[in-house]
Amino acid sequence: MSSYREWIILSKIPHLGPKRCRQLMEYFGSPKKVLSASSSSLLRVPEMGEKIVSSIIQERERIEIKEDLKTIDRLGIHLISFQDDKYPQNLLHTFNPPSLLYIRGSLKEEDKDAVAMVGTRRATTYGKMMVRKLARDLAKEGLTIVSGMARGVDTAAHLGALEAGGRTIAVLGCGVDVVYPLENRRLMAEIIESGAVISEFPLGTSPEGGNFPRRNRIISGLSKGVVVVEAPLRSGALITADFALEEGREVFAVPGNINSPYSQGTNRLIKQGAKLVEDAQDILEELDLSLLGQISRPEKSAQRKLSLSFEEEKILDLLGEEPLHIDLLVQESSLPASRVAEVLMRLEIKGLVRQLAGQQFLKEI
């Protein structure tokens, strides 16, 4: 860890972003030389003004990393600089890659075949179902799913990958020792076991609003394409899509309800030329990754190939992509409430129906 002490100090110097850090490395060769350079030497580096030089000179003596090193050891955090061979190549070849990544879990060679999945924190049931299924199917094909571990679409994307036993990477807008949102503590632990949680922000950094656009460029940069599932017209997900376009990566969008404000952004992306996505095969074909595995397009009658009773068929036909309360199913089916509850339980076991809060049910996509 001693070789990264200087990198940690550099990552904590105010106003020293990735671009200036790379310029310093090109001039001095190592962070150790940067931190021992004189003011006059630092000023000779192109675009290194007096303000940033003054910040380096003052802060390098003040910054204390003893607690950082303890946290790194306690949590098993790894650090990778852009000078390392193990630095993600997709990210390295972007306009402004982070100079240092803090990592919990592991990054692997196969993560080069990654797809980002992003969208609103206020996702509808439809949005969460779609992203979860897409992530699950793509992960089964060997793709790594990248997202931001936020509520809504991000959480569903990670869960879908984990359900398939695949790899997933969460990029945070805070330090990797900070759980945000708090309810995703368990999810974060599962991601660390089955992929990685990463950030360019120093340990202890809180999830402030200005951090998330920076996080979004990493989500896009790690991936060969970005899939947007439900996003209003003003959305961080659309910022991620913009980063993808700027870097020449593919942009995909799942169409949504034209009356929903959470679909306005995705539907506009499709109007502007984003690839419309109905299933995982649409993404695999566009990225030329179809040889990674074999996803066959689901037949509309696939569910009927299961052995279903008349009553199961009847309840299943009443359900759709929007949740229905059990009382309405009782009314529409003309079956006793106890019988409907029993049938719904059997359909859940068969993976055809999902129960939501408040005794609401919907058909699994």
CATH of the domain at 112: 3.40.50.450
274 and 353 co-located in one domain: no
Does residue 57 sit within a domain? yes
Bond preceding residue 181 cis, omega within 30 of 0: yes
Same domain (yes/no): 159, 177? yes
Instruction: Specify burial of residue 109 (Cβ count, 10 A radius: 0-12, 13-18, 19+).
Output: exposed
Does the pTM surpass 0.75? The reply is yes
What token pair was written down for 26?
């090109």
Q: Name every residue whose Cβ is closer than 8 Å to that of residue 259 and which is 6 or more positions away in sequence.
A: none
Expressed as residue numbers, the domain containing 164 is 105-292
pLDDT at 47: 83
Shared domain for 135 and 268, answered yes or no, is yes
Q: 110 and 58, same structural domain?
A: no
Same domain assignment for residues 240 and 166: yes
| Cβ contacts of 213 within 8 Å, gap of 6 or more | 236, 239
Query: What would the pLDDT profile of 16-71 be if each residue is shown by its tens digit?
Result: 999 999 999 999 999 999 999 999 999 999 889 899 999 999 999 899 999 999 99
Q: How confident is the model at residue 200, as a pLDDT?
A: 97
**Helices assigned H by DSSP within the chain:** 5-11, 18-28, 31-36, 39-43, 50-62, 66-75, 89-92, 125-140, 153-163, 185-194, 211-221, 236-246, 264-271, 280-286, 310-318, 326-333, 337-349
Comparing CA positions, the residue from 256, 289, 251 lying closest to residue 273 is 251
Residue 237 lies in a domain: yes
Q: Is position 70 within any domain?
A: no
Q: Cβ atoms within 10 A of the Cβ of 7, count?
A: 20
- Stated as kind and residue range, the H or E segment containing 188 is helix 185-194
**pLDDT tens profile 199-237:** 999 999 999 999 999 999 999 999 999 999 999 998 899
- For residue 33, give the CATH number of its domain: 1.10.150.20
Residue numbers in the chain where pLDDT is lower than 70: 1-2, 290-306, 365
CA proximity to 77, closest of 85, 88, 68: 68
Distance from C-alpha of 339 to C-alpha of 315, rounded to nearest angstrom? 11
